[in-house]
Amino acid sequence: MSDMMKRLILDVDTGVDDAQAIMMALAAPNVEILGITCTHGNTPLQNVLKNTLRVLKVCDRLDIPVYSGFAEGLMGRKIHAGAFHGKDGLGDVPDPDAPGLELLQEMNAVQAIISIASKYPGEVTLVATAPLTNLALAVKMDPSLPGKLKALYIMGGNIESRGNTSVCGEFNFLADPEAAYIVLERYTCPTTIASWEFSCRNSLPWSFCDTWLAQNTPKARFMEKISAHTRKMVQTDRYQKELVSGSGFNTCDTYAVAAAISDNLVTESEEVAVTVELDGTNTRGMMVLDYIDVLHKKHKVTILKKIDLEVFKVLLMNALK
């Protein structure tokens, strides 16, 4: 990794994989998290806020400011992933001593993104592992925002029309397709996307997950508890057949964070113009890759293809130390 400090804003809908991503960023010695903004997604917003504070408490980092964002998509639609992450987003294993919402910042998430980026122009990397509602509204409020960011990393979308929520829709994009469309149109800063199929193809063996959770630390015990529900669901025959390539431990959101904080993680990528389909019966929310320049877009995004799995394993192991 580079010795240069990386300043991040994390935009999350904290379920189990967001928790893993947050913990990975917290463990990286070259990372400063300037704020965590929350939105709807894996679970309703109130749960997302509680879950984010729970993760920070486990990591003894309640000093990091947490901001409340939007509870539904731009068109008012709400979809959640309770069957996947548990109804509360963290495996339905509540903590009676969890921090209260009085610890939240008064400023809302959209204002926070704009304010932090303006305070550190050219220095902030925004990592979004949730539906992109907060980001879309932020750029609507401040069209100059993308020019103030160093980079944007997104976990979301798909590259081969393989859905995980609808026929062709990946969850984060399908939860707010209009927001995803706006973000991919308006954010012209360097943008990197970790898609659904990419995460599946770079999944890890379950034996690694066992080793990861076997670390004798409070963080590992916490992760073991909150991920038990998801692991049981993922390891069913039905779900494994839906994976793009084989079976394995796929911690989706951590791929975007890992790419943002590690300079030697990505081994293969491509640059291409993208947009989001808004109208299709089966393709609404699908990310569209324009290889033949039909869209005539100057801005191209970096689509992740392959990573160094050994580097990725180290980042994950460090997250629970």
Give me the residue label for tokens 């089966």.
282
Q: Per-residue pLDDT averaged across 266-279, rounded?
A: 97
Which residue is catalytic, options 13, 17, 88, 253? 13
Residue 270: CB atoms within 10 A of its CB come to: 13
Q: Per-residue pLDDT averaged across 101-128, rounded?
A: 98
Residue 155 resides in a domain: yes
User: Among candidates 79, 48, 25, which has minimal Cα distance to 253?
Assistant: 25
List of residues 6+ apart from 273 with CB closer than 8 A: 289, 290, 293, 295, 297, 299, 300, 301
> Which helix (H) or strand (E) is 257 found in, with range?
helix 252-261
Q: Determine the Cα–Cα distance for residues 198 and 168; give it in Å rounded to an integer.
A: 15
Tens-digit pLDDT profile for residues 18-74: 999 999 999 999 999 999 999 999 999 999 999 999 999 999 999 999 999 999 999
Q: Determine the Cα–Cα distance for residues 52 and 37; give it in Å rounded to an integer.
A: 9
Residue 96 resides in a domain: yes
98: DSSP letter: P
Residue 170 resides in a domain: yes
Tens-digit pLDDT profile for residues 3-14: 589 999 999 999
Tokens of 124: 């902030």
Contact 5, 31 (CB under 8 A): yes
pTM summary value = 0.95
Q: How far is CA 151 from CA 11, 45, 300, in A?
A: 14, 26, 13
Residue 145 resides in a domain: yes
Active site residue 290: no
Residue 18 resides in a domain: yes
| Residue 145 belongs to domain spanning | 6-319
Residue 212 resides in a domain: yes
Residue 1 resides in a domain: no
Work out how many domains the chain is built from and give that number.
1
What CATH number is given to the structural domain containing 151?
Answer: 3.90.245.10
Residue 149 resides in a domain: yes
